[in-house]
Each structure stands twice: as C-alpha cells, then as structure tokens.
Chain A
Amino acid sequence: MTSGIVFDIKEFAVHDGPGVRTTVFLKGCPLACMWCHNPEGQSIQPQVIRSLSGERVAGREFSAKDLASLLNEQATILRTNDGGITFSGGEPLFQAEFVAEVIDHLDGLHVLLDTCGYGPQQDFLLLLARSNLIFFDLKLIDAEAHRHYTGCDNDLILNNLQLLSDSGKPFIIRVPLVPGVTDTDENLAGIANTVAKLPGLIEVDLLPYNRAAGSKYEYAGMKFMPEYDEARPLNINMQIFERAGLKVKLA
C-alpha cells in the first residue's frame, strides 16, 4: 500500500474541469516557478500556514486506499453531475505511484490530470493511462528561460507532451501569463508552434497572472521574490493562437 502527501482537498472546484469536481492537491513539486500561486505545494514536507482565518497544517499523509474511500463517498454525486476528480498540486507526477493507486481504487470516476509535465516518462505514462482529460501546462519554450524561472529544463516536459499527443487522449494546454516573462509574443508564438499540429488538443487556456499569489508566501513562512514587474500590464495576445488555427480561451 502506497501513501502520499496531500495539502488540500477542495470540493466543488468550479474552475478545475468539467462538471462538479473535487480537486486533490498533492504536495511537492519538482519545479519552483517564480510566480507559483500554491507555494505550500512546493515542498513535500508538511508546513504550518498562518492566515487571517487562523493556523493550520498543510500536508497530510493518506494511504491510497483511504484517500480513494474518502473521494468515493461522493462518487454518485460527482458522476451524476458530469464531474469527477482532478489531481493537481504541487505536482501529481511527483507522487505518480500513489496517484495511480488512488485512481485504481476510485469508483469509476472521471479523472482529470492537471500537470506541469515534468517527470520521468514511465511516471507520466502511468498516470496518462488512468486519466480521461489532461490539463498540461506550458510555460516557456526557451530552454534557458525555463531553467531560470522554474529551476528545471523543459526537455522532459516537451517529451511528455509528445507522448500525450501520441496517446490520443484529449488535453488542454494551459499557459500562465506572467508579465514580461511568459506573455511575450515570442514565447506565445513558440508555444502556438509547438502545439499547433498536435492531435487531441482541445484548446489553449491562457491564465492571467494572479497578483494575490504573493500574499500566500508569507502565510506559508516563505519568501516571494519575483524578478519581474507584477504591475506591468499583461500582453494577452490571443491572435497568435488563432492565427495558428487553435481554439484559445482566457480562463
């Protein structure tokens, strides 16, 4: 029996996929994006969060079976309302075996994998096979910039993207728009080029920068140190994607 660390389970997560869904946030992420809006998801260790509404510990260990039974308590409700379970984080690939085992114990629920794509090929395939829909993040196409802003190379991500496309599963590309970093015409065009010909792609979702992100670092006892100007107006260039024949949406 595998166990894993979860930092939140959010019911009625209306922005995390189709229908009525519960999102499981897995703790721990290989990337350290400078703009991360779930900083408490980065480390796999439990952390104390001190906020306006009091103090709590983020990070709880579950056995795969226990987590699955907890989620199954609402299986009928989720199924009859076009929904299911979304695995997000942190990064689900970071605890791939655990997540796979949880999914195997679910009562036939629709599974959405919300991933940064960074992880060993076998882990990615393990979860891909068990998911019905994938939210796949693409942040920066330039390898050097990707290293600088996320702390990791993007070659694993691009490889997994190819595997995803080859699998024929439906997926959505999600691009966080960070002012002056990911929202440049050059980067957006690079992303559009990379995904333009991929079968299975439903649409590209652009996620505007969330300026509330910084406030969560203090609650989690961490430091927020953006090397970009948060106040700079976003370049929301949807035409780049439309010209490439892609469906694009502002989330």
Chain B
Amino acid sequence: MNERLTLLKHRMKAGEHWTLRQAQPIDLLPECENEGLSFPRRVARLVHKQCEAEGVVIAPEEKIVFTRTVPGVPPIYSPKDWSSMTAGRTLHELGPVSNICADWELLLSQGLLGRRKVAVTTRARMADDSCAIDFLDSAIETIDAVLGLAARYEKQAGLLGKQDIASILESVPAHPARNFREALQSLRLCQAVVWLGGNYHVGLGRFDQYMWPFLRSDLEAGLLTIPDAEELLAEFFIALNKDSDLYPGVQQGDNGQTLSLGGVKPDGSSAVNDLTRMVLRVSADLELIDPKINLRISSQTDLELLCLASELTRKGLGFPQYSNDDVVIPGLVAHGYDLEDARDYVVAACWEFIIPGRGMEIVNFGAVSFPAAVDQAIREGLAGGMEFDGILSRTAENIRTQVNDLGNAYSRLLLPPAPYYSVFMRGCLEEGHDLSQGLKYNNLGIHGAGSANAADALAAVKQFVFDEHTLSADELVAALQANFNGFEPLRQKLAEYGPKIGCNDDRADALLCTLFDAFAAACEDYGRTPWGGIVRPGTGSAMYYIWLARGHKGMREPVVGATAEGRVRGEPFSANLAPSPGVRVRGPISTLQSFSKIDYLRICNGGPITMELSDSVFRDPESIRKVAMLVRIFAQLGCQQLQLNSLNAETLLDAKAHPEKYKNLIVRVWGWSGYFCELAPEYQDHIIARSLYQLE
C-alpha cells in the first residue's frame, strides 16, 4: 500500500469525514404532505432532496470522490399516516427494500442518461397508464437528482484545479463508463445514493464480471498498469467503508456491502479473470470489513485461486465465503430459475443466493426454529408415551406450522416503492413498473436455524430412550423441565455420549436430513405466495442462534429452554451449519461429510458451513495450500457453502478485556464481518467459545 492509500485508510478509520456530517437530517415531510404526493413520488422526492442536501467533499488525496454528509434518512409520512398505512400489514425489517442486488452493468453500459432515455420512451408509450407514469416520473426525478449532484462535484473539482476528476464527472454517471476509473467512480456515486434513499444491504454483485471489460481494455491499451489499477481498486474499497456507521443492521458491520467473484459465465465457462485475483489480493492487503467477499467455486476450481483466497482467510476477516456452483446452480434451477440466470447468481448480504437485476426476493424473511420444533415434540411426545416416529411426525408438523406462519406474514407484506433502485433493475424502466411491484423472481427465503442442536437432541433421544433403553422418558422430561438442575450426570451423558453432527455419524446425520426434508416439504407444499413466488428453505441461522436461546423483542419464535442434547437454558445454538457448540467432533473433514448429506437441490436459500481454524494453521505457504485443499474437499463432497475463519483464542480474550488495544480486530459474526469491539457481549462470547473449542 503506498503513502496515499495509507493516508486514505487512516483517515477513513479515524472517521475524519464524520466531522463533515450535517447535524440534522433534512425535513421533507411538509412538502410531501402539502403537495399530496403519492408513495412513489415521496420516495423520489426523498432521493432528490437528499442529493440536493449533500455537501461536496473532495479531499486533496482522492481520485474517486463522494463522501456522505447527510446523516440520516428522514420520514416521508407522518407517524399517524404511516401507522394507518401499515395497519395489518407486515414490514420486512425496517420497511424499505433491502438485501437485493442491482444489475450494475445497466449503469456502466448505458449511463444515467441512457437509462433516462429508456424511461422517457416508455413514458410516451404508456401515457394512458397513470401508475406507470407515476413510477417513470419518479424514476426520472431521481436520475436528474443524481446528475445534479454529480454536476456539483464536477464544478467543485474544476474550481479546485482537479481537472482529472472534473472530466471524469463530466462523463459519468451521465454517460456509459469508458474506462476502469470512470466505472469505479460511476458505481461509487450511484450505489451510495441507493443508501441515501433509505434502501440498505445494497449488494455490489458480480464485480469481477461487469468491471473486467473496462480494466482489460485499459490494460491492453496501456492506459493503466496493474499497480495503478490496484491502487484505484483499493481506494474504491476504502470508500465503501466510510459510512458503515450509518448503515442499519442487527449489529454494526452487518451492512451487506458484499460482492461476488468467480463462478461461471452464462454459457457455463469459467468466469475467473485477472480482476478476480486482484480483488482477493487488494482485499487481503487492506484488511477492512467492506466489501465482504464471496467466491464462487466448484470441484474443478484451480488450486492456485483457492490458495490466493486462503491468503485472504488468513487475515482473519472471515471472508471470502465460498459457494459451490456444482450445487447452487442445479438447486436454483430446481427452484424454477432459468439456467442462464442461475449461472449469474450472487450472494446477498449474508449467504442467500439472488440474481442481480432480476430478483425482488425477500430471502431473509425469518427463520424456522428447529430447536423449538424438536423440543416441543420431544417433551410432548415423551410425556404422552409416543414412539420415536411419532416424535418425528410431530416435529415435521411443527416445522410446517412455522413455515405457514411465516408465509402468511409474508402475504401481508407492504413493500415500499424504490424508483431510484428500479433504474438498475431489468425491465422496470422498460415496462413502467417499480421493483416493489415484482421482478422476474419474487421468491421468499426462510432460514433454518439451530439445525445441529435439533438433530443432536433427536439423536440423543433415539439412542438412549428408544434404542438402548438406558434413559426413561419420564426422567428426561423431568430433567428438561428442571433445566438439568439435579440431573448433571444425565446432562453429561447426553452432551458427551450422544451421536453428534460433525462426526460423519449417520445416527445423527440422518436426523439432520430428516429435519431439512421436512422443512423442504413444508415449503414445497406452501405453494405460490401472493407475489407469485415460491418459498425457499435455507440452512442459515442469522442472529437466531442467540435470539432463540435468549429471547428478543423482534422475534415471533419462542425461546427454547433446556434441550435434550444436554444444553442448558440460555446457551446459544449452533450458528448456521456448525456442530452444536461445545461438541468435540472428529474434525473438519468429518464435519464437511456430515453436512454434505443435506439435499441441497431442495434446500437452496443458502447458509454456510461455519468453521474456525486456529491461526497457527496458516503459518507457511505449504499449510495455506492445505487450507486451499480443504476448500476443494468442501466442493468435491458436494457441500453448498463454506465460511472459514482464522481465530486465536488468546487474542479474543484479551480484546474483550482490553478493547482499546484491539480497534482493528475483525471477526466473522453470522454472515458478515465486523469489528470485534463493536459487538454486543453475547456475540463476543459466542466467538470466543468457538475459538476455545478449536484450541484443544
């Protein structure tokens, strides 16, 4: 990293740009009400006024500009109006559309003026359709606002004598980008404005695909050298970290600024290029939480690329996260996606597979609580003298009820319009409709949380109560009700000697598959949602591994008490696909074998196998190559998604005690990376527990 980048990174981390933030968000409620604006018009006005309110910031050392100065996103409805509009409706999280991905190539190949022309043409064609006119005029208003903001930056750059910046802004984002630097500048500004309008988890998509043509032609024409390109890329990445504190999420850092690399082209051939490798190198060099990187691989992926990716894992940022094309693409096709679209998938904020520019999917709507489904069935089944098959049927019914409840909540969804975001979606401007009215894919995704604990609980019951008869149903029910108080030897027996997920032990693994099969069947039987989409079951847990164990106000699922795998009340469940916390498993390969047994053709919303490796594993190039082989094994075994972390337990313990010494320590939380010292204690403790277990 050269001096200029070091300075930029330092200034960003020190938060120097925060001093430029305006004290108050703008107030546009009066004009929205006085003019009686429609919902789409209000959202457009919001984007418009936010852009107008932005101050122009050009730091002396910057080549790619835009720094946010507007602090928040103001309301466009009064609380009273909003509550009457939303009465009886479901809002997804904060309300605005989030966690989808634009087709940024539309911006780079057409420019905002190109997109505007499409809108104007459609407007003339659909003059009789008031709804379409309302949307198209809204979209045009936002385009004009962004062009106005860019013009002010251009003017200021000229005044400062920064001719290079001024001439770039004369070209983009209005016109198609002509080179790598213009493409980065155009994307930087237009993506940041999506955040300004209140949408969040704004994905960056297949960065190495839509950016590569610009870089390649610059390199071929001799306009750019590799080090110059890396420097621009690094500056772009640093800029993405600037406003992380303003981006909403469950915990800070959970901001969905993700990009996807690698994979295949629409024709199925390898999509890996020099930019794929450059992004991995630059990200390892920068050691920042954004952008979070996903790498699409297959069993055929070159080991050298996996070595480069493992060098990034070594940095302990918790990425790249790997998705296995061999499994994901057929899974998406089985869920009704066209093959070419499936081949173009990206990973959303955490792990969900989405199609850029073609999906208005809500892929993180909620989670099925496997521990709740299983625990209720075990307690009631054992108390009622059921056989084990009866407990399994009851579990399946409970899962079905949870899926149906989530589906019904989703059918009451209120999705606010997003005219600006729609500019970068395929078909919206062309056909005169907002993305909130639906895109090509409109599916619902549900996580499947706590699966390993739930499978272990079933396995313990089957083993000790029904197969060996070494534990009576009554005693187990009494022990669970007592939270194992007075039953410590029994708790240990369940925790230590039951069959466990992560050991390639069919006694447990088969029950994991039973749980996911029941989940898949419930989703398939749910049929079509009112949005015309299907329900996609997944393997992620999001924050539910803590919430389900401890309770949370934002949650419909019940808190689960002591469970039959020997877990006491309050202890967290496994995050995503990982062995139950505290279980000593056979090892990483057995763990991959256990999770390879899930039928990913039916379970395709994403959710990674999550593994911690001691940082001592990354000591030398030879062992890094072995980490790359482990990733290849993951793909060869037909697993779906993998998140590898490098952790050192002593460092984490010290960081908890002395946060002031560890401002830069980055860890992976459930599906994203954040600064350790900015996490709530319960999330810190879970990560420490994961790493302690690795140490032994």
- Counting CB contacts under 8 A, is A197 at the interface? no
Contact between chains at B586 and A9 (CB < 8 Å)? yes
> With A53-B582, A73-B504, A80-B636 given, is the CB distance from A20 to B626 under 8 Å?
yes
Contact between chains at B588 and A11 (CB < 8 Å)? yes
* A9, A11, A82, A83: most-surrounded residue (chain B CB, <10 A): A11
Complex contacts, B632 vs chain A, CB 8 Å: 81
CB distance from B586 to the nearest CB of A (A): 6
- Counting CB contacts under 8 A, is B409 at the interface? no
> Per-position contact with A for B597-632: 1 when CB-CB < 8 Å, else 0?
000000000000000000001010001001101101
Contact between chains at B588 and A53 (CB < 8 Å)? no
- Counting CB contacts under 8 A, is A162 at the interface? no
Closest to A77 in B: B633
Complex contacts, B496 vs chain A, CB 8 Å: 54, 56
- Counting CB contacts under 8 A, is A222 at the interface? no
Contact between chains at B587 and A14 (CB < 8 Å)? no
- Counting CB contacts under 8 A, is B692 at the interface? yes
A residues 11-35 near B (Cβ < 8 Å) are 11-12, 14-15, 19-20, 22
> With A20-B630, A20-B633, A77-B633 given, is the CB distance from A12 to B587 under 8 Å?
yes
Contact between chains at A11 and B582 (CB < 8 Å)? no
> Per-position contact with A for B654-675: 1 when CB-CB < 8 Å, else 0?
0000000000000000000000
B residues 559-597 near A (Cβ < 8 Å) are 582, 584, 586-590, 593
- Counting CB contacts under 8 A, is A193 at the interface? no
Complex contacts, B633 vs chain A, CB 8 Å: 20, 77, 81
Q: Whole-angstrom distance between the alpha carbons of A112 and B589 in the complex?
A: 19
Complex contacts, A77 vs chain B, CB 8 Å: 589, 633, 636-637
Partner of A53, one of B623, B630, B693: B693
> Per-position contact with B for A45-62: 1 when CB-CB < 8 Å, else 0?
000000111101000000
Q: Whole-angstrom distance between the alpha carbons of A56 and B623 in the complex?
A: 29
Contact between chains at A11 and B590 (CB < 8 Å)? yes
Q: Whole-angstrom distance between the alpha carbons of A11 and B589 in the complex?
A: 7
A residues 75-114 near B (Cβ < 8 Å) are 77, 80-83
Q: Whole-angstrom distance between the alpha carbons of A12 and B694 in the complex?
A: 13
Complex contacts, B582 vs chain A, CB 8 Å: 53-54
> With A51-B696, A80-B636 given, is the CB distance from A56 to B589 under 8 Å?
no
Interface size on A, residues (CB 8 A): 21
- Counting CB contacts under 8 A, is A10 at the interface? yes
Q: Once A and B bind, how many residue pairs between them come within 8 Å at the CB atom?
A: 59
CB distance from B303 to the nearest CB of A (A): 9
Closest to A82 in B: B629
Complex contacts, B692 vs chain A, CB 8 Å: 52-53
Closest to A212 in B: B695
Contact between chains at A53 and B586 (CB < 8 Å)? no
CB distance from B505 to the nearest CB of A (A): 11
Q: Whole-angstrom distance between the alpha carbons of A12 and B584 in the complex?
A: 15
CB distance from B28 to the nearest CB of A (A): 56
- Counting CB contacts under 8 A, is A74 at the interface? yes
Contact between chains at A53 and B584 (CB < 8 Å)? yes
Q: Whole-angstrom distance between the alpha carbons of A74 and B623 in the complex?
A: 19
Q: Whole-angstrom distance between the alpha carbons of A15 and B496 in the complex?
A: 28
Q: Whole-angstrom distance between the alpha carbons of A20 and B626 in the complex?
A: 6
Closest to B586 in A: A11
CB distance from A40 to the nearest CB of B (A): 12
Q: Whole-angstrom distance between the alpha carbons of A83 and B626 in the complex?
A: 10
Q: Whole-angstrom distance between the alpha carbons of A56 and B696 in the complex?
A: 12
Q: Whole-angstrom distance between the alpha carbons of A127 and B171 in the complex?
A: 73
CB distance from A188 to the nearest CB of B (A): 22
Complex contacts, A73 vs chain B, CB 8 Å: 504, 593
Q: Whole-angstrom distance between the alpha carbons of A99 and B586 in the complex?
A: 20
Q: Whole-angstrom distance between the alpha carbons of A73 and B637 in the complex?
A: 13
CB distance from A82 to the nearest CB of B (A): 8
Q: Whole-angstrom distance between the alpha carbons of A20 and B496 in the complex?
A: 28
CB distance from B382 to the nearest CB of A (A): 27
Complex contacts, B637 vs chain A, CB 8 Å: 77
Closest to A54 in B: B582
Q: Whole-angstrom distance between the alpha carbons of A248 and B587 in the complex?
A: 31
Complex contacts, B617 vs chain A, CB 8 Å: 14
Partner of A12, one of B589, B593, B636, B696: B589
Complex contacts, B584 vs chain A, CB 8 Å: 53-54, 56
* B582, B633, B692, B695: most-surrounded residue (chain A CB, <10 A): B633
Contact between chains at A20 and B696 (CB < 8 Å)? no
Contact between chains at B693 and A14 (CB < 8 Å)? no
> With A20-B626, A51-B696, A56-B496 given, is the CB distance from A11 to B587 under 8 Å?
yes
Contact between chains at B586 and A14 (CB < 8 Å)? no
> With A12-B589, A54-B582, A77-B636 given, is the CB distance from A19 to B629 under 8 Å?
yes
CB distance from A151 to the nearest CB of B (A): 28
CB distance from B653 to the nearest CB of A (A): 11
CB distance from B365 to the nearest CB of A (A): 36
CB distance from B63 to the nearest CB of A (A): 41
Q: Whole-angstrom distance between the alpha carbons of A146 and B632 in the complex?
A: 44
Partner of A20, one of B586, B593, B629, B693: B629
CB distance from A106 to the nearest CB of B (A): 16
Partner of B589, one of A15, A19, A53, A74: A74
Complex contacts, B587 vs chain A, CB 8 Å: 9-12, 22
* A14, A52, A56, A82: most-surrounded residue (chain B CB, <10 A): A14
Complex contacts, A80 vs chain B, CB 8 Å: 636
CB distance from A19 to the nearest CB of B (A): 7
CB distance from A184 to the nearest CB of B (A): 26
Closest to B589 in A: A11
Contact between chains at B696 and A15 (CB < 8 Å)? no
Complex contacts, A11 vs chain B, CB 8 Å: 586-590
Closest to B630 in A: A12
Q: Whole-angstrom distance between the alpha carbons of A15 and B632 in the complex?
A: 19
Complex contacts, A51 vs chain B, CB 8 Å: 696
Q: Whole-angstrom distance between the alpha carbons of A51 and B623 in the complex?
A: 27
> With A9-B586, A53-B582 given, is the CB distance from A15 to B623 under 8 Å?
yes
Q: Whole-angstrom distance between the alpha carbons of A56 and B588 in the complex?
A: 20
Q: Whole-angstrom distance between the alpha carbons of A22 and B504 in the complex?
A: 15
Q: Whole-angstrom distance between the alpha carbons of A10 and B589 in the complex?
A: 10
Complex contacts, B629 vs chain A, CB 8 Å: 19-20, 81-83
CB distance from B310 to the nearest CB of A (A): 11
Closest to B623 in A: A14
CB distance from A44 to the nearest CB of B (A): 22
Interface residues of A (CB under 8 A from B): 9-12, 14-15, 19-20, 22, 51-54, 56, 73-74, 77, 80-83
6 closest Cβ pairs, A-B complex? A11-B587, A14-B623, A81-B629, A11-B589, A14-B626, A12-B588
6 A-B contacts (beta carbon < 8 Å): A11-B588, A14-B626, A15-B623, A53-B584, A53-B695, A77-B589
Given A12-B626, A83-B629, 6 more A-B residue pairs with CB atoms under 8 Å apart are A12-B588, A12-B630, A15-B623, A19-B629, A53-B584, A77-B589
